[in-house]
Structure 1
Amino acid sequence: MRAADEAALHRVARRRARQDVQRKERVDVRYSVDEKTDILAEARRLGLAGAHLVGAIVMAHLNGDLTLPEQRTTTDDLVDELAALRTQVAKIGTNVNQIAHRLNAGADPHPVDTAVLAEAGRVLTLARQAVAAIDTTADVAATQRQAA
């Protein structure tokens, strides 16, 4: 699965809000054993019920938030790739923070710790700048898509 597809699916599946009134209407759909297995595996990976995942995707499509593969534009792909990239860069920042925390946790410092902490601070600053640039770029792309 491409990062853009994964980001779009995750965004859509998490967006479907609970309602005050229980949903009671049903639409029956038939899947092959393999399709059902894939749906349930993806739902588990996202921490959702299978029905919630399917419902969220269908409603997102009906609301214009999720296009079928042949309806996607390059801007849709760009925004979703940027979302996936942002997640990856943010994880780098988290890892650098953990390294810095470990080095600052006490104990006897090693001579190299000062240099590692300085480099960690530099990398963390770069990661934050990258995340901000990605956010700005994704916002501009999404805004231009909505205006089109």
Structure 2
Amino acid sequence: MVRAADEAALHRVASRRARKDVRRTERVDVRYSADEKREITAAAQRLGLAGAHFVGALVMAHIHGDNTLPGGRTVVDDLVDELAALRTQVARVGTNINQIAHRLNAGGDPHPGDSDLLAEAARILVLARQAATAIDTAADAAVTSSGRPD
């Protein structure tokens, strides 16, 4: 099963990797065995990073006593992506309700129960809007409390 967070991660990685104002010009050469290089490259690719960025970020994280990888995915990233996917699904419900209401209001002779159905559609549309707002609030709170720049 593909999680929404995995799908959404593809869209988030590029926006996370903004260029720094300071250009990196210094170089440190490091040698690895062929197996080590394959493992490093594979790990970097899983995170959507270049090998050099991955190694450099790990070294700097170690130097600064931090175990998180800059630009790497966190639990908060997964949560926000899941909330974004949920919001999309809720928005689709709202769209479907609007389409139903439009069809019922399109004219012609009303059928028995149309006014009850329209009232229920309006109620569900309000609930969908409230749910979307609550999802937005939860995503904002998750990002704000994590200290991430998103």
Per the shorter chain, which TM-score range? 0.5 to 0.7
Q: TM-score, normalised by structure 2?
A: 0.58
Displacement of 1:77 after TM fit?
1.2
Amino acid at match of 1:88: Q
CA-based RMSD of the aligned residues comes to 2.7
Displacement of 1:65 after TM fit?
8.3
Question: Is residue 11 of structure 2 the alignment partner of residue 10 of structure 1?
Answer: yes
State the aligned residue count: 101
Change (3 A) 1:89 1:145: same
Displacement of 1:86 after TM fit?
0.4
Amino acid at match of 1:125: V
Cα deviations by residue, 1:99-137 (Å, 9 ceiling, x for unpaired): 000100101110111011000000000000000000000
Larger proportion of helix: 1
Structure 1 stretches of 4+ moved >4 Å: none
Calculate percent identity across the aligned residue pairs.
66
Mapping of residues 55-134 of structure 1, within 5 Å: 58=49, 67=72, 72-134=73-135
Question: Is residue 144 of structure 2 the alignment partner of residue 143 of structure 1?
Answer: yes
Checking the alignment, whether the CA contact within 8 Å between 1:12 and 1:65 is kept in structure 2 is no
Change (3 A) 1:123 1:98: same
Change (3 A) 1:66 1:121: farther
Q: Show structure 2 runs of 5+ residues with no match.
A: 17-44, 54-68
Partner of residue 28, structure 1: none
SS of 2:108's equivalent in the other structure is coil
Cα deviations by residue, 1:67-119 (Å, 9 ceiling, x for unpaired): 2xxxx322121111001100000000000000000100101110111011000
SS of 1:83's equivalent in the other structure is helix
Instruction: Output the CA distance in 1 between the equivalents of 2:94 and 2:76.
Output: 27
Cα deviations by residue, 1:14-33 (Å, 9 ceiling, x for unpaired): x59xxxxxxxxxxxxxxxxx
Instruction: Output the CA distance in 2 between the equivalents of 1:7 and 1:65.
Output: 18
Instruction: Output the CA distance in 1 between the equivalents of 2:70 and 2:99.
Output: 36
Amino acid at match of 1:109: P
Q: Show structure 1 runs of 5+ residues with no match.
A: 17-53
